[in-house]
Structure 1
Amino acid sequence: MELRQLHYFVKVAKKQHVTQASEELHVAQSAVSRQIRQLEQELGVTLFVQKGRNLQITPVGKLFLSRIEEILNELDRAVVEVKEFLDPTRGEIRIGFPHSLGIALLPTVIAKFRQHYPDVKFKLRQGTFFSLIRDVIEGEIDLSFISPFPESHNYVSGEILLTEELFGILPDTHPLAGEATIRLDQLKDEPFVMFSDAYSLRTIVLQACKKAGFVPQIGFEGEETDTIRGLVAAGLGVSLMPEMALMETSKLQPARVRVIEPTVTRTIGLIRRKSEKLSPVVQAFREFLLDYFGHDRNQ
């Protein structure tokens, strides 16, 4: 069974006339008739019966037609998707991101990219450090922002895009709230509001506290930057938060102070499956991000 036969069959079924079908197909009438006969022989059924000058489709022909139309429509959609995949001005980009980057960074870079590629679609997936790496490895997403950047990994590779400072956040009534800078060990007796175990920011904060010579008392845990910020603003503890996560304002807003001794930072990177060729549209977005963050691709 050939694809050409199926197209001829559908056209004849719609026109109920071989001559009219052949004219629209721009092929000889005899060629259309021959392909229909071959299709009937292969299926072992009669698809059409003569009715005057026209052809009438048989009941089994109607059944076959309904299924073939579905198949041909799916095939047409598949061809469109392949063309979009290969066209860097169209297609779809599947990208992952941690929650803290979804507030400002991700919307900003997507909006700027779509100024140049307005027809590109994005499928977004939020996740934790390990879930994002897993989704990239398993092919669920094409690229992912990630923090901290995994310097060495067997299955993913990428680039550091930027390094971001973490600030201390305190209730606005805290004695240190008005200071320009504080040492991290000045918070050693305070209850900390921490991210849960699944989030890499928790590890960064714990390591910073260890470097400052203490183990933080954990008073509350949460999974969203809004939750952490709100609990601190309500006077339930202190925390460290990336600068980008503090850009959004709300009614409950904590005080922000710069932390020294040690300065606390995190790396933000872009990862993809190692040694895999990206589609043109995904590669275009990757190159846009490298340029946007001033990354030297020759390093």
Structure 2
Amino acid sequence: MENFIDLKKLNTFLKIAESGSFYKASMILGYSPAAVSIQIQQLELDLGIKLFDRLGKQVRLTDQGKQFYPYAEKILMLNEEVKESLIRKGDPLTGEIRIGTIDSICDTLFPQVLAEFYEKNPNVSVEVSVCTPAELFEGVRHNNIDIMLLLDKPCVSRDFIADVQITTDVVFCASKKHPMVGKNEIDLEEILKYPCILTEKNSSYRYILESKLSDLGFGIAPIIESQNTNLIIKLLCNNMGYSVLPRFLIEPKLRDDVLKILPIREFDIKVNYQVLHKKDKFVNRQMESFINLLKKQASILQVTNKYQDIVFKDL
């Protein structure tokens, strides 16, 4: 068992277990499928156990493979901690960081933080994935994403640590030329008669909206659906109906008096802007630096827009 702790083999093992495929793991790692198979054969020989059951194209962990999985994770995480401890704190950051987010945040809040991070850490490679909330949680859970940014209900899972949480209003909004602008209060039934533009079905805040409307006995049928929030905001600015969006996404347009909030009577929904990482993941210097920039941005959002219920967790 002289090759018991072979980090390359352990990493390959984890990637196969997470992706459920030798081929997918080879694509992720940049190895040939044959090289991946050889590494696993050698690892199984070193350990004296069978790690995977191969059923056609399907790959599943054996009981022994499932038992070995958390140890492989811990060994690789400990390796990261050792490398990190040997780096002097004043040395420039290097390495990589993998960020996952949703389209709404990628178009609005994210570019500013990414630009500042690059200016401070030009030697760090940043990989950005734009995903659905479900894909983000899966990516962080399987260690394919280091940090995720999303808009959703507060995360209550013990598997994740919330570095930032901001509760913000989700508002009905439209061009200042919309016929409902200027009213002190608008009945929900009245605004629903007008054309609307929404994010794609089952996205976080649209799901919250539709659930609330359903509880009240209403439905909503958009004329346009798009996961691209920038497109939605541009269409609103051209007076193409109304939308329902987290307030901070349209704050610049509100300040410029291009868009207006439509005051809907007795209708209040909120969403949480959250930055999360896996609980048992080692937070390296790259992650710490990026999270601190996100905290800084969140504190500015809180002061500027008077948001409440902001929670920061110290690293």
TM-score, length-scaled by structure 1: 0.59
Which deviates more, 209-218 or 273-282?
209-218
1:156 counterpart residue number? 160
CA distance in 2, matches of 1:173, 1:290: 36
1:105, distance to aligned residue in structure 2 (A)? 1.3
2:271 counterpart residue number? 266
Deviation string, structure 1 residues 206-254 (Cα, Å, up to 9, x no partner): 13434655222333322211333345455654221223433577xxx97
* Pairing 1:229–2:245 present: no
Change (3 A) 1:125 1:296: closer
**Which amino acid in structure 2 is aligned with residue 285 of structure 1?**
F
Question: Unpaired runs of 5+ in structure 1?
Answer: 1-81
1:100 counterpart residue number? 104
1:108, distance to aligned residue in structure 2 (A)? 1.7
RMSD, aligned CA:
3.4
Change (3 A) 1:85 1:148: farther
Change (3 A) 1:293 1:204: same
1:111, distance to aligned residue in structure 2 (A)? 3.1
2:129 counterpart residue number? 125
Change (3 A) 1:258 1:192: closer
1:259, distance to aligned residue in structure 2 (A)? 3.5
Rg larger in 1 or in 2?
A: 1
CA distance in 2, matches of 1:208, 1:153: 23
Change (3 A) 1:293 1:254: closer
2:43 counterpart residue number? none
Change (3 A) 1:230 1:268: same
Change (3 A) 1:214 1:153: same
CA distance in 2, matches of 1:120, 1:296: 24
TM-score, length-scaled by structure 2: 0.56
**Which amino acid in structure 2 is aligned with residue 278 of structure 1?**
V
- The percentage of aligned residue pairs carrying the same residue is 21
- SS of residue paired to 1:134: helix
CA distance in 1, matches of 2:114, 2:136: 19
User: What is the correspondence of 1:1-299 to structure 2 with a 5 Å cutoff?
Assistant: 89-153=93-157, 155-170=159-174, 172-179=176-183, 182=186, 184-210=188-214, 214-232=218-236, 237-246=241-250, 255-260=259-264, 261-294=266-299, 295-297=311-313
Change (3 A) 1:225 1:297: closer
**Which amino acid in structure 2 is aligned with residue 270 of structure 1?**
V
1:144, distance to aligned residue in structure 2 (A)? 0.8
Question: Unpaired runs of 5+ in structure 2?
Answer: 1-82, 300-310
Deviation string, structure 1 residues 22-61 (Cα, Å, up to 9, x no partner): xxxxxxxxxxxxxxxxxxxxxxxxxxxxxxxxxxxxxxxx
2:41 counterpart residue number? none
Which deviates more, 137-146 or 289-298?
289-298
Aligned length: 214
Change (3 A) 1:237 1:296: closer
Retained in 2: the 8 A contact 1:97–1:144?
yes
- SS of residue paired to 1:206: helix
